[in-house]
A and B are shown apart, each in its own frame.
Chain A
Amino acid sequence: MMYQYDEIDKTLVKERVDQYRDQVARRMRGELSEEEFRPLRLRNGLYMQLHAYMLRVAIPYGLLSSTQLRKLALIAREYDRGYGHFTTRQNIQYNWPNLEDTPDILDHLAEVEMNAIQTSGNVNRNVTSDPYAGVARDEIEDPRPYCEIVRQFLTLHPEFSFLPRKFKVAVTAAETDRAAINVHDIGLRIVKNDAGEVGFKVLVGGGLGRTPFIGKVIRDFLPKEELLRYLQAILRVYNMEGRRDNLFKARIKILVHELGTERFTEKIEAEYEASKSDTRLLMDGIEEDRIRAFFTPPTYESLSDDAPDVDAEAAGNPAFADWLNRNVVAHKQPGYAIVNISLKPMGEAPGDATAEQMDAVADLADQYSLGHLRVTHRQNLVLADVRKQDLVALWKALVALDFATPNIERITDIISCPGLDYCNLATARSIPVAQRISQRFADMKRQYDIGEIRINISGCINACGHHHVGHIGILGLEKNGEESYQITLGGSSDVDADIGKRIGPAFASEDVVDAVETLVNTYLDIRQDGERFLDTYRRVGQDPFKERLYAAY
């Protein structure tokens, strides 16, 4: 069900923690200056934010066991202020750890085969994936073994430890893109070719931030066994030619853009050809099989796909029916379901969970979902293997935790970065805007009438809240000492990926929620049958929205 550390992994992580413990002690004694210590702490996921340190812990491709989640709860309770924040990269962040406690926290993490390695710095970061990996009906095969292979290949890889800039890889095998592969440095989609062989479609140069780009396809089909050699070729070209002279131009997307896709692809292919005599990275199937064995599907019970109790409850209980419609997704195995846990109760900070909630979800995972769960890039959690017959009981338990808000992919399922309430780089707050939008649209009936819509909010141009790919994107800026919010429309990170376009001048903080409401009302007025917000926008363009929006101000 999930990768387990071998002796090499265990030793490596343990040695890292011991080294770090020593580094912290030397820093506390003044033997290391802040300048010397900073890169060392960052290499272990420890940032300095506005009010405190922040520790970012990697959750490889968002997969957690209940034991790991309990450990995350313990850390929240004993070393932080009783909560953690799940991020758009399927990681968790703690906002209040003390420096001296961080080696102990890392020791705790190591006990459950977790770490904070490469959650910062100009290296490959957490490899992210489809939160429905392995259970989705629309996937070709489980992408997680490849995530793990890439993770191992790029962890502490000497040649790729000082890339021009940070590097992010996402892998999916499904038709629906739930991993936003189009906006990653490398996006890998598992595909089948005409001969029925399985391989990768390779996208490079996607990314958000100051200069957003959708990834370019540089290979329609890469045979599976060539994955690492091809990745090596991409990283080598990037390492050599990426812009190290300018922080804002250092991501691979700029290299792809400046060279042009064709020229960039030629360089990759040439580097790849040149490495062909080196067979060490050719995946021969043995290591692949070893890794894949960790992800062997669980032994499912043979159950009927009909669940009369669930149907009966849904017929008589509208709240349950809403949750069933919104938060529960079809599983590939008959009689099972995928359950989304919304971390977006009305008016709360998106992605936050308390230690108690984490403990309780860990228990629910044990009781109802084979002891595992996933973190999504939209900052929710997923119980992936729930028997349909358990749905009613699970729903009741989630209601008690305030985790059953039936709003997945609806207007209150907002992605928001930490923004100026926590983040050192922020220009404006983002969580309070998310909370206000959530309160404004709290009425579920109205949310269902509005239908599928994605609002993404970032507190600065770095775009951790993925605002460029929100159907409605909100970017917080500072103008003359005041927060102001720029709105973009038409973005998406799904298969219909696009970068949103700015609709016009920014809005003052007190006006931004009204502006969102005006946009939504405009859509409701002009939509045609079956159109989502995004579809209407793409059909009619900016003008009708713009007219209504700026007429009001």
Chain B
Amino acid sequence: MNYRMVTANTLKEGAVVFMTASGGWSQNVNDGKTVTAEEADTLLESAAASVADCSIVAPYLIEVEVAGGKVRPVRLREQIRAKGPTIQFRTSA
């Protein structure tokens, strides 16, 4: 069965974050709170407080699978958002 999770970007850095069980935000997808499809809208509504206090922007729901205690977004786009670019960029150092 697939679950739902709320994701957003932080206002300050634009970093990808996932809503945790305590209503906070983590950059680790495994910290995200997973709910059933029926509970998804309520979870999304609860993100409004973080929009109002300017910690995050544009929250939305994603579909995730949970296997072996690890969360994996279903869509490739969300997998890449969760992990970061799949390429090595040239770094200065």
Contacts and interface: CB of A to CB of B under 8 A. Distances in A.
A27 interface: yes
A426 interface: yes
A48 interface: yes
Interface residue SS majority, chain B? loop
A138 interface: no
Contact of A98 (B12, B76, B92): B12
A421 B80 contact: yes
Contacts, number: 91
A349 B89 CA distance: 7
B87 A432 contact: yes
A483 B76 contact: yes
Nearest to B15: A52
B76 A420 contact: yes
Nearest to A343: B90
Q: How many B residues are at the interface, by size bracket? A: 20 to 34
Interface stretch (A265-273, A350-358, A520-528): A350-358
Interface string A396-429: 0000000000000000000000001110001011
Given A51-B14, A420-B80, A28 B87 contact: no
Given A30-B52, A34-B51, A349-B89, A49 B76 contact: no
Given A51-B16, A51-B84, A429-B86, A354 B92 contact: yes
Given A420-B76, A420-B77, A426-B77, A348 B90 contact: yes
A99 interface: yes
Given A354-B92, A421-B87, A481-B76, A53 B53 contact: no
A81 interface: yes
B91 A81 contact: yes
A51 B77 CA distance: 11
Contact of A48 (B54, B57, B84, B85): B57
Interface string A17-37: 000000000011110001000
B25 to A, nearest CB: 15
Given A50-B77, A421-B87, A435-B87, A355 B54 contact: no
Interface string B4-27: 000001011111100000000000
Contact of B13 (A29, A52, A348): A52
A29 B92 contact: no
B14 A52 contact: yes
Given A29-B54, A429-B86, A481-B76, A48 B14 contact: yes
Contacts of A166: none
A52 B77 CA distance: 14
Interface residue SS majority, chain A? mixed
Interface in B18-61: 51-54, 57-58
Q: How many A residues are at the interface, by size bracket? A: 35 or more
Nearest to A483: B76
A431 interface: yes
A175 interface: no
A178 B85 CA distance: 31
Given A420-B77, A478-B76, A481-B76, A27 B92 contact: no
Interface string A480-497: 011100000000000000
B85 A421 contact: yes
A160 to B, nearest CB: 29
Contacts of A51: 14-16, 81, 84-85
Which 6 pairs across A and B sit closest by C-beta, in order of nearness? Answer: A82-B92, A421-B85, A52-B14, A53-B14, A30-B54, A34-B57
5 contacts: A30-B52, A34-B51, A354-B92, A421-B87, A428-B76
